[in-house]
Structure 1
Amino acid sequence: MGSLNGFAMAGGDGDQSYTKNSLYQRAIIDAGKSLVQKSISDYLDPKKFPPSETFRIADLGCSVGPNTFVSIDNILDVVKFKYLNINVNEIPEFQVFFNDHTFNDFNTLFKSLPPNREYYATGVPGSFYSRLFPRASLHIVHSSYSLQWLSQVPREITDPNSRAWNKGRIHYADAGEEVINAYSRQHAVDFSKFLNARAQEIVPGGLIMLILPARPNGVPHSQDPFAKNNVRLGACLMDLARKGLIDEEKVDSFNMPCYMASPHEFEQVIKQNGRFSIERMEGLPRAKASHIPNSPEDMTRGIRAVKEELIRQHFGDEILDEVFALYQEKLSMEVDLNPGTELNLFMLLQLKQDN
């Protein structure tokens, strides 16, 4: 696995789809609602924008819904209030861009668009690590639970001649420093590309709001609960290799293209980029327990909806049911399913006026 052509969450609206198995991501969006709305209320100034100009919002990594629609409604409610509060004669029209990889199930997304929406909807396929929109065309960029995904697996971890070769593992959490550093460097490169692209696309005074899983400053990667999910999945694949159901070399060449950065790592890249000011960076309040899947079966369905396509691309369809049955079995044997020191991070960035 080198450069990725992209992958998508499980499409459709069936029992194993992301649509039906993204309750945790929805719970995080709900936990961040007040911060999203307070950020718009405090930092968005409609007076800086031409009157009656179309107000444009992009949701990057939208997947198939319904979570993306909830995020957009949370944003629009406050933006409309801001315009009414400055006594403008006319609230602008709103255009919302739903972005994800070309493999995303845009058909399901479009079929489930809210019928009474107060915006014009547009699908934008492509990687958010490159330019997607015309210069100075966006007022708000939002992304939830997407930026932990890298543009590619670090090349050196799949090279048997490299000190960072990640043999027998599919992630960095249970690996050595060379592997961790390779992932960290890839994250820094990708996040910098993301910022460079958005700096060209956002209007002066425009906002970026990001919600994503992160690793608390100072917490070892091995203790990060998000990363532990990948360690568990790697153990399942190695079990299948020992049974002779897949080639062990096939496992050696498979690595998850995701990285849980710390707030400090994000700050370093943002400051080095220099195009945005950090207006807010803080952990979200803990999601309500009633909104989080807490049984091994429900948790496994959630993981499968996110990671099934990556496994299918590398190993084929044949092992999918067995690998996730093993995953559920391992979860069932764990005494405590409490995630522990998990951090869901909210970031508010504003394009500096001199850009």
Structure 2
Amino acid sequence: MAVAERRGGLRLIARLHRWLGLAAAIIWMLQAATGVLLAFHFEADDALLSTERVPTDFDAIQQHMSGLDNAGGEAGTIWVWTTAGLPDRYVVLYRAPDGDERTAKIDGAGRVLRDAAADDYTFLGLMREIHLTLLSGNVGHWILGIAGLLLFTNILFGLYMAWPRSGHWRRALVPVNSAGPSARSYSWHRAVGLWGAIPAAVSILVGSLMVFEHQIGDAIGVEEITLPANPARGAPVGLDLAARAAVDAIPGSRFVGTTMPSVDDASYYAWVRGPGELYRGGYGGSLVIVDANDGSVRGAWPGTEAAPARALMGSLYPLHTGEAAGTLGRILVMLTGVWLIVMAIVGVQLWQRRRAARRAR
């Protein structure tokens, strides 16, 4: 009786695994393909503009931003951030005099390498938007989150079905080529699946959780870090002083980016990457709020000292992209995307062959 029940349960799991996979295969393959392209897209985008490295000069960058601020009309800078690609590269989001938002990619001396409308994407930038939202805003964002959770459960179903008995691991991990077409496809599907299921499940799960990070953060008590508005008392201190103050507030850190002060709140909300953080690329998880009136530090929140709930949410991006493990981790995530494409193709091929075999009976 127990054996019959177990077989019935396995058949149900197999049907769920098959039909869930077929239903969402297109979205999963699109996510996998764009994910492979995005593994090193920040560096690629920067290199396509220029490979010359110009050391960061915040005074020069400030001069460029002052020119944007003084262009008249509704002009003004909104934030400046590292591109997360090549060293000493930055992207500035600003409003043009007509109120339209634009982005300027600049080198360390403030020289403009590319200036375009904020929604004018490069090819890799377009791939990133597809990967994040399917070019459908919040609706696409939610579709991808749900599809990601579906993929995660489907991987668990597949792993459960493919898990070999004791003493059969070598046979399961090495595909056979001497059997018939269906058996050969199954052998490859099982072997490739066992090799990559665990890293894929981790990357896909944390990527899906990122879609719901605000809802999850609210549920586990992660509050946004803010301070009371700090009215301006004159012209704000420059980016150079603010960036230095932010880096000095957390010894050993590197500047990542900052929002710009306003008349209502003369504060730089500056992010830096501190020692020991999971971030290895161009981003960081430590916040420093700098008073734009005098350059003093209003508060500092190192990422490595965050409460467990905040640390959990802050770990999602570096785990999903693999940068928590450096370049090797990013390569592993890229290979995970290739793995998912192969699994989808072999899985559909296996389904077609089995379906044809049943019809031929």
Identify the TM-score tier after normalising by the shorter chain.
Answer: under 0.3
What TM-score, normalized by structure 2, do the two folds share? 0.24
Q: Greater relative contact order: 1 or 2 (C-alpha under 8 angstroms, separation 6 or more)?
A: 1
Higher helix share: 2
What TM-score, normalized by structure 1, do the two folds share? 0.24
The structure that has the greater radius of gyration is: 2
